[in-house]
């Protein structure tokens, strides 16, 4: 933790020579002054200042600390990259860290399933345990960084997760970051995630969870900086706000991120209605609000609500946005001079920020903060690896299993694994991810699972999409060092700018390096070093090539002296997303030698560099057909990747636009490959990896078994193989609706609720929200209700669930409520309770659920909840009602 010793001025205990000198000078000066001062003065000066006195309340400490700051120092603390305040012993702190499904962008970490996959578990306890593991690793990594005085981006304790926007439209590229389309499911899972992140210590927060993006925000990505989400209050309170309210009131999230867009004309980060009236006044939120990155700048640049940065800054602070991810709050000095804001209003924001840091224990002795004792060994520990496997297993949804095609036998003689998602570990992670130590691809998982006598053959089969080729590491046999050895020569520098003399050199067989959060050598600064690889490349085939680099450093690739590929500074664009700029198609000739140079400068946290290319490939379809023709069964691993769907992306491929999707089916090249393989007459199992709903229409009609695996994280391959071969009985459920076409959806930009999601959609879905099959069968009976007729009481529900099969399995019990005579529009039915539980074969369990009394209310046109006397139908089963599964129902009146 950060500690400060007070000798008239507060200083911190640091290790850097500059700080040591600074502290020594202050210490000597104060000793000199004290020696000349009266005794009473000496005692006062030697006393601990209030802001460091742990016996005082947090409020008193924060007030004292902020009172000692100049206005310039206060304003600087309102930026996400907050500088140190030396004379107060306040260390620098970067507020931006990520923990969506593992500690992200900070090197080695356990990578759990993407958030949409965690939602598919329908398991509150599992989500809590995953979040607990994430916060363990965040704490351990933070203290390891801080021990070396590293305080860069992605190294802190304020995690900008979870994303709880409702996934209202499957075209949204960031929907993968959410818990799905239902406010109740999203809110209940998010509460557990928040509790796991923030811990249960009565005095300190373990980390801080940030719920985002408040409040009406879910695409399109291309217009997110300028669009106005125009909706009525009924839609706001019925659909967009419930999960936010739940996470604030029940989860007690201590941070909230406001969105880019406007809501009914007001900038979300400058909305007094959203941030003050609803969030702080109605919900009694006590934490701090941070802007999405660049959102304050959008107010004058895109929304045109103000004319100057100082006006945007003042508007946002007065509305309740305390922290600016960006630079606009630097203009608060001008806003003060212009009379747009007062120092007292700035003080309010700064105090909220330092209250958060106090609650994290950043100004207290480390021995008093139990969370600071979490050892680094928790990072990627065996326990967390097993949890990643468990979460991946629980997230898998068996969409279809005709004729009991699954599970497959492990003793098949020949299995073909085909598809572009079968053998690339980056495809497993989604976005906002860390770097796993041992990611298991589906191909590897299948190879490890089957009998030693089973032959497993692989063929890529197709590209991801037309114009989007698969990229693979460039092999060592086509690389040559300047001295003629295979591979590349690496020259290392002790600075990121590659200046001065070479520190040392070594040879690398290829460029596929992952130093994580370490330096190449112990005597180097892991956050400030550079590498230059040099040599040549000699292609083995004539044709069209693309070169690219996947890197967390500032990396450039030169071919014959020309820059052909690069990553932006820190491998992030201005909004923090990974990006790589690959070359245009290059015509290269076999046996021609081209000079190659790659430079990389590392400036924080982690170092991962992979030189990749798309080379001319053999006929992928023909190769796949030949591989499948010899097989006893074919496992096709298809789907999407984070190269196709995500946050504000530069992608120009049919079916994808700006990170969003324009079509719901698989890319055409993948669809055709599935049809061609199916035509061979072999047993085919389809596994899809993706972050959003897929219109698998032909596939559902023709492929006997289909698994939805999402972006399953580091244990993907083992989890998928466990389900395919029967070592794990699947029980995941869809947290979103799988539609048959975009024609089922309203305009993507229309935020008014009409037919979006299962709650309002009256058409026939391909796979419904809540759908998921098992290798077991379950029977429901003896449904009982308590307090069913009391208008003001929670309803208590119990039901008997029997596993009627010979196989142990999990069941997800789902309760849906329908209003028969509400005086306003309400969902046709809505999820009001659920529970995942394990039931051994031929055994019965009594499941008890609680339906909150507010579930029997409706939202009026003013956004108010209204309880009313009326008739209701409660349905309980393994899916939504009317889905051809066993469901118990009960109709009753409440008065």
Residues 209 and 309 in one domain: yes
CATH number, domain at 794?
A: 2.60.40.10
Residue given tokens 């993507």 in the structure block: 748
CA–CA gap between residue 598 and residue 241 (Å, rounded): 48
Residues 627 and 603 in one domain: no
Q: Which two tokens stand for residue 827?
A: 């969902």
CA–CA gap between residue 656 and residue 254 (Å, rounded): 36
Nearest CA among 288, 293, 236 for reference residue 264: 236
Q: Which helix or strand (DSSP H or E) is residue 62 part of?
A: helix 58-67
Q: Which two tokens stand for residue 639?
A: 């789907």
Q: Which positions are catalytic?
A: 292, 645
The number of C-alpha atoms within 13 Å of 866 and in the hemisphere containing its C-beta is 17
Residues 622 and 740 in one domain: yes
Residue given tokens 């930009």 in the structure block: 749
Residues 173 and 317 in one domain: yes
Q: Which helix or strand (DSSP H or E) is residue 866 part of?
A: strand 865-867
135 falls within a domain: yes
Question: Is 199 exposed, middle or buried (CB count within 10 Å of its CB: 0-12, 13-18, 19+)?
Answer: middle
Supply the pTM of this predicted model: 0.93
Question: Is 593 exposed, middle or buried (CB count within 10 Å of its CB: 0-12, 13-18, 19+)?
Answer: middle
CA–CA gap between residue 531 and residue 496 (Å, rounded): 8
Give the pLDDT confidence score for residue 20 in this predicted structure: 38
Contact present, 714 and 428 (Cβ < 8 Å): yes
CA–CA gap between residue 91 and residue 147 (Å, rounded): 12
Residues 477 and 459 in one domain: no
Question: Is 758 exposed, middle or buried (CB count within 10 Å of its CB: 0-12, 13-18, 19+)?
Answer: buried
CA–CA gap between residue 688 and residue 197 (Å, rounded): 30
Nearest CA among 733, 730, 763 for reference residue 746: 763
Q: Evaluate the CA torsion angle 491, 492, 498, 502 in order and state its sign.
A: negative
Last residue of a domain, one of 556, 587, 614: 614
Give the pLDDT confidence score for residue 674 in this predicted structure: 98
Nearest CA among 166, 179, 182, 293 for reference residue 219: 166
64 falls within a domain: yes
Nearest CA among 225, 231, 185 for reference residue 312: 225
CA–CA gap between residue 144 and residue 133 (Å, rounded): 17
Contact present, 713 and 111 (Cβ < 8 Å): yes
Last residue of a domain, one of 378, 407, 429: 378
Residues 222 and 350 in one domain: yes
242 falls within a domain: yes
Q: Which helix or strand (DSSP H or E) is residue 628 part of?
A: helix 620-629
Q: Which two tokens stand for residue 724?
A: 């395919």
Nearest CA among 548, 601, 605, 602 for reference residue 579: 548
267 falls within a domain: yes
CA–CA gap between residue 138 and residue 146 (Å, rounded): 12
Question: Is 36 exposed, middle or buried (CB count within 10 Å of its CB: 0-12, 13-18, 19+)?
Answer: exposed
296 falls within a domain: yes
CA–CA gap between residue 96 and residue 138 (Å, rounded): 12
Residues 206 and 328 in one domain: yes
Contact present, 739 and 429 (Cβ < 8 Å): no
Range of the domain at 649: 395-469+617-744
Nearest CA among 552, 584, 537, 578 for reference residue 565: 584
Give the pLDDT confidence score for residue 583 in this predicted structure: 64
CA–CA gap between residue 775 and residue 759 (Å, rounded): 28
Last residue of a domain, one of 576, 591, 614: 614
773 falls within a domain: no
Residues 23 and 108 in one domain: no
CA–CA gap between residue 780 and residue 782 (Å, rounded): 7
Residues 372 and 258 in one domain: yes
How many CB atoms lie under 10 A from the CB of residue 632?
A: 16
CA–CA gap between residue 713 and residue 389 (Å, rounded): 9
CA–CA gap between residue 287 and residue 255 (Å, rounded): 5
Give the pLDDT confidence score for residue 214 in this predicted structure: 98
Residues 96 and 232 in one domain: yes
Rg of the chain over all Cα atoms, to the nearest angstrom: 29
- For residue 119, the SS3 value is helix
526 falls within a domain: yes
CA–CA gap between residue 735 and residue 725 (Å, rounded): 25
List of the chain residues with pLDDT < 50: 1-46, 569-579
Residues 104 and 252 in one domain: yes
CB within 8 Å of 342: residues ≥ 6 apart: 336
HEC per residue, 365-417 = CHHHCHHHHCCHHHCCCHHHHHHHHHHHHHHCEEEEEHHHCCCCCCCCCEEEE
Contact present, 758 and 737 (Cβ < 8 Å): yes
Strands 684-689 and 633-639: parallel
Residues 422 and 320 in one domain: no
Contact present, 118 and 391 (Cβ < 8 Å): yes
CATH number, domain at 63?
A: 3.20.20.300
In the chain, the number of structural domains is 5
610 falls within a domain: yes
Phi first, then psi: what are they for 488, rounded to 5°? -135, 150
CATH number, domain at 704?
A: 3.40.50.1700
């Amino acid at each position: 933790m950060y500690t400060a010793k007070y000798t008239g001025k507060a200083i911190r205990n640091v290790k850097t020579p500059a700080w040591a000198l600074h502290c020594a000078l202050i210490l000597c000066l104060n000793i000199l002054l004290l020696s000349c001062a009266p005794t009473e003065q000496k005692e006062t000066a030697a006393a601990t200042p209030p802001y460091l006195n742990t016996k005082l309340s947090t409020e008193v400490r924060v007030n004292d600390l902020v009172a000692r700051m100049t206005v310039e120092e206060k304003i600087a603390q309102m930026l996400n990259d907050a500088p140190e305040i030396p004379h107060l012993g306040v260390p620098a702190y970067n507020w931006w860290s990520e923990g969506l499904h593992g500690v992200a962008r900070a090197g080695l970490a356990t990578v759990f399933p993407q958030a949409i996959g965690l939602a598919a578990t329908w398991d509150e306890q599992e989500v809590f345990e995953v979040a607990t593991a994430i916060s363990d690793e965040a704490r351990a990594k933070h203290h390891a960084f801080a021990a070396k005085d590293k305080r860069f981006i992605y190294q802190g304790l304020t995690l900008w997760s979870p994303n709880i926007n409702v996934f209202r439209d499957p075209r949204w590229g960031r929907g993968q970051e959410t818990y799905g389309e239902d406010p109740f499911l999203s809110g209940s899972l998010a509460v557990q995630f928040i509790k796991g992140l923030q811990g249960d210590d009565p005095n300190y927060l373990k980390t801080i969870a940030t719920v985002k993006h408040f409040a009406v925000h879910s695409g399109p990505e291309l217009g997110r900086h300028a669009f106005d989400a125009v909706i009525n209050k009924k839609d706001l309170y019925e659909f967009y706000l419930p999960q936010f309210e739940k996470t604030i009131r029940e989860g007690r999230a201590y941070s909230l991120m406001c969105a880019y867009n406007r809501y009914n004309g007001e900038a979300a980060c400058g909305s007094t209605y959203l941030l003050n009236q609803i969030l702080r006044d109605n919900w009694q939120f006590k934490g701090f609000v941070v802007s999405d990155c660049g959102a304050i700048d959008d107010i004058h640049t895109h929304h045109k609500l103000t004319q100057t940065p100082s006006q945007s800054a003042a508007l946002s602070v007065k509305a309740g946005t305390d922290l600016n991810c960006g630079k606009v709050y630097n203009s608060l000095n001008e806003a003060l001079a212009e009379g747009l804001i007062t120092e007292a209003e700035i003080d309010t924001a700064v105090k909220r920020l330092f209250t958060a840091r106090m609650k994290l224990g950043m100004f207290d002795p480390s021995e008093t903060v139990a969370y600071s004792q979490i050892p680094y060994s928790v990072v990627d520990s065996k326990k967390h690896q097993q949890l990643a496997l468990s979460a991946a297993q629980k997230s898998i949804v068996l969409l279809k299993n005709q004729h009991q095609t699954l599970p497959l036998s492990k003793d098949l003689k020949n299995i073909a694994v085909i598809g572009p998602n079968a053998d690339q570990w980056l495809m497993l992670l989604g976005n906002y991810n860390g770097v796993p130590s041992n990611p298991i691809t589906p191909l590897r998982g299948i190879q490890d699972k089957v009998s030693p006598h089973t032959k497993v053959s692989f063929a890529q089969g197709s590209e991801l999409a037309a114009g989007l080729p698969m990229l693979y590491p460039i092999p060592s046999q086509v690389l040559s060092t300047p001295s003629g050895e295979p591979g590349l020569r690496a020259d290392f520098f002790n600075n990121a700018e590659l200046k001065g003399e070479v520190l040392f050199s070594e040879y690398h067989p290829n460029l596929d390096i992952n130093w994580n959060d370490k330096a190449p050598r112990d005597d180097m600064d892991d956050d400030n070093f550079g590498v230059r690889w040099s040599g040549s490349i000699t292609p083995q085939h004539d044709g069209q090539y693309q070169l690219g680099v996947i890197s967390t450093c500032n990396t450039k690739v030169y071919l014959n002296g020309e820059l052909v590929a690069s990553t932006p500074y820190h491998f992030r664009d201005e909004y923090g997303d990974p990006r790589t700029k690959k070359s245009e198609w290059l015509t290269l000739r076999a046996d021609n030698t081209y000079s190659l140079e790659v430079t990389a400068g590392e400036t924080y946290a982690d170092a991962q560099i992979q030189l990749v290319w798309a080379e001319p490939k053999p006929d992928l379809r023909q190769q796949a057909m030949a591989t499948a023709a010899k097989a006893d069964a074919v496992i096709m691993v298809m789907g999407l990747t984070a190269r196709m769907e995500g946050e504000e992306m530069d992608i120009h491929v049919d079916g994808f636009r700006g990170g969003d999707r324009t079509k719901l089916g698989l890319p055409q090249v993948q669809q055709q490959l599935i049809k061609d393989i199916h035509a061979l007459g072999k047993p085919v199992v389809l596994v899809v990896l993706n972050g959003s709903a897929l219109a698998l229409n032909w596939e559902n009609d023709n492929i006997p078994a289909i698994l939805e695996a999402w972006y399953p994280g580091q244990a993907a391959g083992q989890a998928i193989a466990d389900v395919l071969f029967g070592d794990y009985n699947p029980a995941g459920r869809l947290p979103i609706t799988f539609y048959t076409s975009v024609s089922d959806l309203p305009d993507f930009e229309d935020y008014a609720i009409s037919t979006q999601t299962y709650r309002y959609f009256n058409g026939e879905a391909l796979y419904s929200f809540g759908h998921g099959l098992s290798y077991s069968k379950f029977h429901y009976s003896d449904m009982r209700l308590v307090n069913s007729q009391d208008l003001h009481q929670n309803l208590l529900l119990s039901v008997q669930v029997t596993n009627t099969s010979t196989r142990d399995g999990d069941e997800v019990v789902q309760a849906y409520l329908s209003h028969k005579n509400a005086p306003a529009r309400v969902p046709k039915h809505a999820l009001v309770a659920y529970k995942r539980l394990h039931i051994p074969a031929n055994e019965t369990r009594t499941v008890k659920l609680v339906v909150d009394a507010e579930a029997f209310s409706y939202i009026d046109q003013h956004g108010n909840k209204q309880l009313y006397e009326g008739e209701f139908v409660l349905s309980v089963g393994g899916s939504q009602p009317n889905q051809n599964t066993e469901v118990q129902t009960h109709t009753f009146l409440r008065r």
